[in-house]
Chain A
Amino acid sequence: MSEVMGNNAVSEKQVVAEVQKLGKTYHVGGSDLHVLQDIDLTFERGEYLAIMGPSGSGKSTLLNLLGCLDRPSRGAYYLGGQDVSHMDDNELSAVRSERIGFVFQSYNLIAQLNVIENIEIPLFYQRVDAAESEKRARELAELVGLSHRLHHRPMQLSGGQQQRVAIARALVSKPLIILADEPTGNLDSESGAEILELLDGLQQQGTTLIVVTHDRDVAMRAHRIIHLLDGRVEKIEHNGHKENH
């Protein structure tokens, strides 16, 4: 399963991203701190994954590596058929804007921009022209149910609405994977449930979704739950039944 890459047309399971022997080491005060070691994971198209683990287990680091915000110390990371682990800063920026969508716990919208403009940001850095990008931003705003709030600023929206804008922004460049870091962490249970519904819907349309969470209820919606402990994959839960790694 781990060598399914490239033009495997036969497989109905299309591999979108894969990490092999991924490791990250920080040099702190002269000693090496191994934050992640030997991570092997494969993400298929349309899959819904949750990453869980206690603080310090390496969740954030793994998310940063998967999001191409950071480069691994060891191992390879294939995203959409290309090894991105040795790309330079400019190339990684392009990868982020075209293949990855981010949803953050604190929404991370830009305060001085309105809803449409916030959604357009990734397209702006892809140099998509203004008319086209506005058209797509409008479509997505409609998809997340905010078509009546297009010219509002983030401060004028509720937390749930802001997170929906963030999801629209993550989807606007039709990314391969969406990385959500505690997407419901700042929300009350009602709007949190709405957001989770929305994410479920996306996943059913074929987007790969990776959610990092502490919340067992959130994780239970995923096909697989990856448990991290001390920088290693502790176990992978498959849709309810456990499986040792």
Chain B
Amino acid sequence: MVPPSSWLEKVACRWMLPQGTLRPEREVQGLTDGYTRMKLHNMYRILKLGAKSLWAHRLRSMLTTLGIVFGVCSVIAMLAIGEGASKFAQDQIARLGSHNIIITTVKPPESANASESQQGIVEYGLTYDDVQRLRDTIEDIDVLVPLRRINQNALYRNRRVPVEVVGTSPNYTDIVPMKTLQGRFISDQDMDYQQSVCVIDSGVYDALFVFDEPLGQFVRIASDYYRVVGVVAADAGITTNDAAEQGTAVEESDTTGGVAGSVYIPLSAARSRFGDTEFQGGSSGFSAEKVELQQITVKVLGVESRESLMERVVAVRDMIDAVLARWHEKKDYQIVVPLELLRQAQKTQAVFSIVLGSIASISLLVGGIGIMNIMLASVSERTREIGIRRALGARKRDIVVQFLTETVLLTTIGGILGIILGAIIPMLVSHFGNMPTVITYSSLVLSFAISAAVGVIFGLYPAYRAANMDPVEALRHE
């Protein structure tokens, strides 16, 4: 046995030593050799004793522990699943960029422009003038990226895939960090000269270029050929689609279904090649929509602290709203601030965690009550043992310690099993349910601490009952 550190021994001695110890004053028979002070070693013996008693009723102990196991397990699993769901949402939002403000075109309600639609062309949305106005009026804007999306087919040799053509400016990469796999992104020169160049993402690359290297090749979109100057990693597109669960509607033309990927071309080229009007043929004639830009993404100037960033982003958002409102009577745009969404998601997460945690805690409570019930039964069943121990010199405190040890042993074992099970269940959910889960260390520590505390709280009363039995009565008990 390792010699225990002295302070620990001192504490243990003060706690365990009886006030009524007689041995030192004993005069009649000299028996000084046997008396040694309480050592930490005794804690080990007490634990061993508790384990032995629990082992004597294996099945009962196991069933009792199950309550705690499932309690702890459900606390951990629920928190992990909740945490995972919210982390997923937060990651999605964070990808939109915390410095960004996203302004998107929204198609106004049909009734408002019923008369116009009869004339054939519906005109709405953000315009090139808006871009200029925002750039001129708001100081805190660092980068401003207009975006035009057109769904078209891209052709190369005999291959043809539907793609999303994104007309944008070269500083698009300032807003969406992109990984360039080959070549380069659109340059200022491309923009100025309306060059027929394009940058494809890896989705399009995989779909079109099976044998050839794409750089320098020409891809046909509609009636024009575009020279491929770069390849970027997919999944970098910036849309508010991901945040759709936050209640954000995005313009209808942006249908990602069935699209192989994105093809980026200079915005100026997009305007001159495709124009602003989109025609759609239908059974009831045809309709046309004139939309200049689908999206304007604004990045505000950097600030050190998160708080002032929030203030600035909100201020810029308000300014943008004020500027646009003067020119858009129909309210055909929408402003999304990812940072705000993030804050909201975090708040929701906090509430979510509390709700899930308290539901799970109730099961821990139920487990605790079950343990108390069993311990009370065990105390009355072992009345005679208590009487024997009292007759042989156990103090009340010894009896309390004995029964409390058993309860705490039960709950901590239950806690450990619960933690193991609680760690496995989220893994299974992630694996089979395709749902992200995050097990936080705090939930492990919390639920373990709670289970130990449950042991102490629900063990105290049975232990107290045991200790306060009259030894004479207890010995007579059959």
Contacts and interface: CB of A to CB of B under 8 A. Distances in A.
B52 A113 contact: yes
Interface string A120-133: 01111111111010
Interface string A169-180: 100011010000
B384 A108 contact: yes
Given A69-B471, A91-B19, A97 B393 contact: yes
A96 B471 CA distance: 12
A80 B19 contact: no
Interface string B302-315: 00000000000000
Contact of B393 (A109, A112, A126): A126
Interface string A53-97: 000000000001001011000000000111000011111111111
Interface residues of A, number: 46
B34 A97 contact: no
A80 B31 CA distance: 13
Most A Cβ at <10 Å: residue of B19, B38, B389? B389
B49 to A, nearest CB: 8
Contacts of B55: 112
B391 A126 contact: no
B396 A89 contact: yes
B16 to A, nearest CB: 7
A96 B52 contact: no
A12 to B, nearest CB: 15
A56 to B, nearest CB: 15
A90 B36 contact: no
A176 B26 CA distance: 11
A123 B18 contact: no
A136 interface: yes
A97 B395 CA distance: 10
A16 interface: yes
A129 B393 CA distance: 16
A90 B23 contact: no
Given A91-B20, A110-B388, A128 B34 contact: yes
A127 B37 contact: yes
Most B Cβ at <10 Å: residue of A70, A82, A94? A94
Most A Cβ at <10 Å: residue of B22, B28, B385, B398? B22
B391 A95 contact: no
A36 to B, nearest CB: 14
A18 interface: no
A157 interface: no
B19 A67 contact: no
Contacts of B396: 89-90, 93
B391 A90 contact: no
B356 interface: no
27 contacts: A64-B472, A69-B471, A80-B27, A82-B22, A90-B18, A90-B20, A90-B395, A93-B20, A93-B394, A94-B21, A94-B22, A95-B20, A96-B390, A98-B26, A98-B31, A108-B475, A110-B385, A112-B56, A122-B393, A125-B393, A126-B35, A127-B37, A128-B34, A128-B35, A128-B36, A136-B34, A173-B31
The 4 closest A-B pairs by CB, nearest first: A97-B393, A91-B20, A90-B20, A125-B393
Given A64-B472, A94-B23, A130-B45, 11 more contacts: A81-B28, A82-B25, A89-B395, A96-B390, A97-B393, A108-B388, A112-B53, A125-B393, A126-B35, A127-B38, A129-B41
